[in-house]
Structure 1
Amino acid sequence: MDALADVLDGVRARSAEFCRAVLEPPWALRIADGSALALVTVLRGQAWVVPDAAAPVPIRPGEVAVVRGPHPYTVGDDPGTAPTIEVLAGGRLRTTDGADLAADVLGGRPGGPEPDGATVLASGTYQVSGDIGARLLAALPEVVHVPRHADVAPVLDLLAAELQRNQPGQQVVLDRLLDLALIATLRAWFARPEAEAPGWYRALGDPVVGPVLRLVHDDPAHPWTIAELAARAGASRAAFARRFSELVGVPPMAYVTGWRLTLAADLLRQTDATIDTIARRVGYANAFALSVAFKRVRGITPRHHRLGPATAGHLTVSGGAGPEWVHGDG
């Protein structure tokens, strides 16, 4: 695993959250489903993603937009078209006047008719929770727009072809293709200069720091020290620490501590494992050691974190380097 693989591992398309829409102009949909992340692509025609507080973004066939929620936004044939349909959580539809609509009002049945001049959209929404997922959300602008790209186009072509069929197991195929489209789109986006990719992503391509990051993500419970990390990187301690800090934005052992506590935070909320078990899984000798580090860095104990309200993560961003992590014990 690496840093990107870890943050994407918990992001999956769900059948109920896939949508295919066939829309004749003028049209506009108000997306208010509260999802943390959405992927929108145009299979035919043209669409605009219109955030409430940012410039409209055009999407043409072969292009992809990834929208960071949970705030509502509009997708329409033109930035000036007023929405007439609201898309709510669970795929529920209603008019902007509040009247419920049937699920098939968007003409979304795979293999169904597509009138001349209609726009055909495919989209998927993702519920991203926990501190690991927050690392991804913190790295993205409100709308990621990727023009037709060699790494993304084959997946979109497969998606378009699958939508012309109506075969057994199709929903699973569509969900997997949406997952692939999201991964390919994010990699294509982070490779663009304007993306200002987070430090943990940029560092993955570095021949010195990248392999070390993968080691830490593969085995966070290992008793890592700065000396061992530097040795694994084939560099002196001083040179390795300086290079790591410059690329990632935090010192090596602060990253190790931060990643361990991020894993622990999600395990506390998402499992019923004991605090002692979680401590050992993420590299602490016992529950007491984890509690001391957790309280020092996050300001609360693991027990209070587990009992507190679920969130999409509390991480903050510092200079594009990723979460702000206090230097810890490692």
Structure 2
Amino acid sequence: MMLVVRGDACVLPDGGEPARLRAGDLAIARGPDPYTCADDPGTAPQVLILPGQECRYPDGRPLNGSMDLGVRTWGNRLDGATVVLIGTYPMRGEISGRLLDALPPLLTLTTDVWDCPLTPYFSQEIVRDEPGQEVVLDRLLDLLVIAALRAWFARPEAEAPAWYKALADPVVGGVLRLLQDDPAYPWTIATLAAKAGVSRAALARRFTALVGEPPMSYLTGWRLALAADRLRDSDDTLDRGAGGVAGVRV
């Protein structure tokens, strides 16, 4: 995620068209394909940011803190013409992939469709060095990305995933939240229909029409995705995870 605070910037995906950004504009690069962020398309890269946030000069030499300008701040100089706030999610799982796969490799939101009140607060907080600051910044980044994705999918020409659009439905949206919030519960069409206040047949038809698959099929896929992320991100084994240790039953 790149949020321009001051000046102009340009994001150039490898093999794609450059996206020009002005102050207040935001870009989200989906990854893992590389891209270049510069003040101008003609500016040669001065720093390489590798996996694991390892930073090197283009010739391979490590930066070794040579561009550090203070708390979470680095670059050529503090009074530079261009300032960009950058946030990164280093891991990708099955759950996040459901949303990321619906996004283009490079998403940009300009100020004419994007006016986020979090920007000035983020700018103030990112340079502080106080207890719990990492937690504050993590939550701010989450809120910023969520606000950006909502603005992106709210555009008239947006192609949001079926399940995302279905969340706005008064019946199916509530059922989706039940399944997502408590996937380990032994849900059935009958219990879901009772919670939604509709018949089983009506729920099955409406859910399938809006989401693209029946409720129980969606639940199975959700449980499998949660289990896959749990196995990837913890020391749980397949035998241990299959018993629902993570609150997920497949």
What is the SS of the residue equivalent to 1:42?
strand
Q: Shift of the alpha carbon at 1:119? A: 0.4
Aligned residue pairs total 244
Alignment of 1:165-176 (within 5 A): 166-169=128-131, 170-176=133-139
Match of 1:247 in 2: 210
1:213 equivalent in alignment to 2:179: no
Matched, 1:186 2:149: yes
Q: Give the one of 214, 219, 225 matched to 2:188.
A: 225
Residue 57 of structure 1 is matched in structure 2 by 19
- Distance in 2 between the 1:98 and 1:280 partners? 42
- Structure 2 residue identity aligned to 1:78: D
- Please give the TM-score of this superposition, normalised by the length of structure 2: 0.85
Aligned partners of 2:65 and 2:160: how far apart in 1? 38
| CA shift in 2, pair 1:220/1:75, >3 Å | same
Work out whether residues 93 and 103 of structure 1, in 8 Å CA contact, stay in contact via their aligned partners in 2: no
Letter in 1 for 2:180: H
1:280 to partner: Cα distance: 8.7
Matches within 5 A, 1:1-330: 39-105=1-67, 107=69, 109=71, 114-115=78-79, 118-148=81-111, 153-163=116-126, 166-169=128-131, 170-269=133-232, 270-272=234-236, 274-278=240-244, 281-283=247-249, 290=250
* Aligned-pair CA distance for 1:209: 0.3
Structure with the larger RCO, 1 or 2 (CA within 8 Å, 6+ apart): 1
Give the fraction of aligned pairs with identical amino acids, expressed as a percent.
52
CA distance in 2, matches of 1:152, 1:102: 37
Distance of 1:56 and 1:87 partners within structure 2: 19
8 Å CA contact 2:52, 2:90 repeated in 1: no
Do the aligned partners of residues 194 and 54 (structure 1) sit closer, same or farther apart at CA in structure 2, a change above 3 Å counting? farther
Q: What CA deviation, in whole Å up to 9, does each residue of 1:25-45 have, x standing for no partner?
A: xxxxxxxxxxxxxx1011100
1:46 Cα deviation (Å)? 0.9
Instruction: Name structure 1 gaps, 5 residues minimum.
Output: 1-38, 284-289, 291-330
Displacement of 1:110: 5.7
Contact conserved, 1:132 with 1:266, CA < 8 A, in 2?
yes
> Does the residue aligned with 1:222 lie in a helix, a strand or coil?
coil
Task: Report the CA distance shift for 1:232/1:149 in structure 2 as closer, same or farther (over 3 A).
Answer: farther
**Could you tell me which amino acid in structure 2 is paired with residue 255 of structure 1?**
Y
Distance 1:224 1:166, change over 3 A: closer
Deviation of 1:212 after TM superposition, in Å, equals 0.5
Q: Determine if contact 2:47/2:55 at 8 Å carries over to the other structure.
A: yes
